Amino acid sequence: MKKRLLLCLITLLALVPAGARVPHYPFVRGDLNTLEMPAGASPTYNRFLRKLDTLIATGGVDVRVLHVGGSHVQGGTWSDRLRRNFLSLRYGADGGRGLVFPFSAAGTNTPSSYSSSYAGNWEGVNCLKPHDVTLGLTGMAVTARDTSARVVIDLLPREAHLLQQRYTFNRVDVLGEGTLEPVLLLGKKDTLRGVKGHFVLPFYTDWVQLGFEGKGYYTLRGLYLDKPGQGFSLMEAGVNGASTTAWLRCELWEQDLRRVMPDLVIFSIGINDIQGADFDVHRFKEHYRELIKAVRRVNPYCAILFSGINDSWRRRDVNSHTEAAEKAFRELAKECAGVFWDWYKVMGGYGSMARWQEAGLAQADKVHFTPAGYKLVADLLFDAIIDSYHKRR
């Protein structure tokens, strides 16, 4: 009898997720590391937690998270650490890598969690300024104009290790349009043709090579890598320097979002909005409202989590707009019955970026973080989410 009770207790404990092991720094306010719900209990966020609970207990559900931002997100370390933390809640919970983009073909950095390479000539654009190319969820696009163009996505991260989590897939959706026909190049002679950009591979793999046949051009907005079965997926959409204004230039953002169909969107846009001297908090909020409307049109039950923004410097002094932006995030969370994580307050508030830099957690520009810093940010946010999970239970 005692053995049965002990076994039941161990089983129950195994189903209750623990938080990340966050190292102690005196300037980090761990006592303030909670999620705020300015409108009271959030029905959409509670729905996300219920799905997460089901995933942990039985694995029989899809949970999808989208992380949107600027260079903090394009770098990939923050999102990847969050992804790994969530996947640690249940063995074998990988639901697919999801949205990726060949950043190298656009002449910019690929997120640290995978690599990309290319051949041939590509023309890249992003959402930072107006252009003639229609953009989508990734905020970027590359255009090929002949069949010599190739891109390769390899899901093995740059800093791989022996026990590295490997993400495999056997389904590929090519997001784009043009007169060239996209094909998958499986070997020296093997070419796989899809149906309207959708491909089903005859095997599982962790890399893919995209080529083209025919004449004309093809504009690529990204690839969606998937596999059968259910599980957890966290995808990032980050563009260096992107503000809310930039993301609203992506006309197919909502269309591509339907392929992802997220249960939770983590908005980390804002650090670039406050870099100018003329920060307009009303415009900032209005732009965010448009993005939220697009999310809710795709999935009315999608939870919204605002991560806020970090303390930073503009020119040679602490950025004075941060607190106004944090207030705006709190008001937006109240409007949409969302959730707010006050990153600025948790990291130590006004002027704290200098202390993060001294500790080797932030870069010399006092805007961006080191890999260790981004991992700490991810662990803090994950702990806040898991704390809300425990409180709900």
206-216 per-position pLDDT tens digit: 999 999 999 99
By percentage, how much of the chain surpasses pLDDT 70? 93
Token code pair at residue 227 = 């596999």
| C-beta of residue 51 within 8 angstroms of C-beta of residue 63 | yes
* Residue 67 scores a pLDDT above 90: yes
Residue 7 pLDDT? 39
Token code pair at residue 15 = 């189903």
Residue 20 pLDDT? 65
Give the mean model confidence (pLDDT) for residues 28-49: 97
- For 322-346, how does the pLDDT look when each residue is reduced to its tens digit (9 = 90+)? 999 999 999 999 999 999 999 999 9
- Is the pTM of the predicted complex or chain greater than 0.85? yes
Position 372 confidence tier, pLDDT thresholds 50, 70, 90: very high
The least confident of 15-19, 123-127, 243-247, 311-315 is: 15-19
Residue 161 pLDDT? 62
- For 264-316, how does the pLDDT look when each residue is reduced to its tens digit (9 = 90+)? 999 999 999 999 878 999 999 999 999 999 999 999 999 999 999 999 998 88
Residue 46 pLDDT? 97
* Residue 14 scores a pLDDT above 50: no
Residue 10 pLDDT? 38
Give every CB contact of residue 112 below 8 A, 6+ residues apart in sequence.
Answer: 75, 76, 77, 80, 157, 158, 159, 371
- Where b means 16+ CB within 10 Å and e means fewer, 366-388 reads bbbbbeebbbbbbbbbbbbbbeb
Residue 1 pLDDT? 45
Three-class SS of residue 14? helix
- For 184-194, how does the pLDDT look when each residue is reduced to its tens digit (9 = 90+)? 999 777 899 99
| C-beta of residue 348 within 8 angstroms of C-beta of residue 31 | no
Dist CA 353 CA 253 (whole Å): 32
Position 4 confidence tier, pLDDT thresholds 50, 70, 90: very low
- For 129-160, how does the pLDDT look when each residue is reduced to its tens digit (9 = 90+)? 999 999 999 999 999 999 999 999 999 877 66
Residue 229 pLDDT? 87
| Backbone dihedral region for residue 15 (phi beyond 0: left; psi -120 to 50: alpha; all else: beta) | alpha
Token code pair at residue 314 = 């503009």
Give the mean model confidence (pLDDT) for residues 249-272: 97
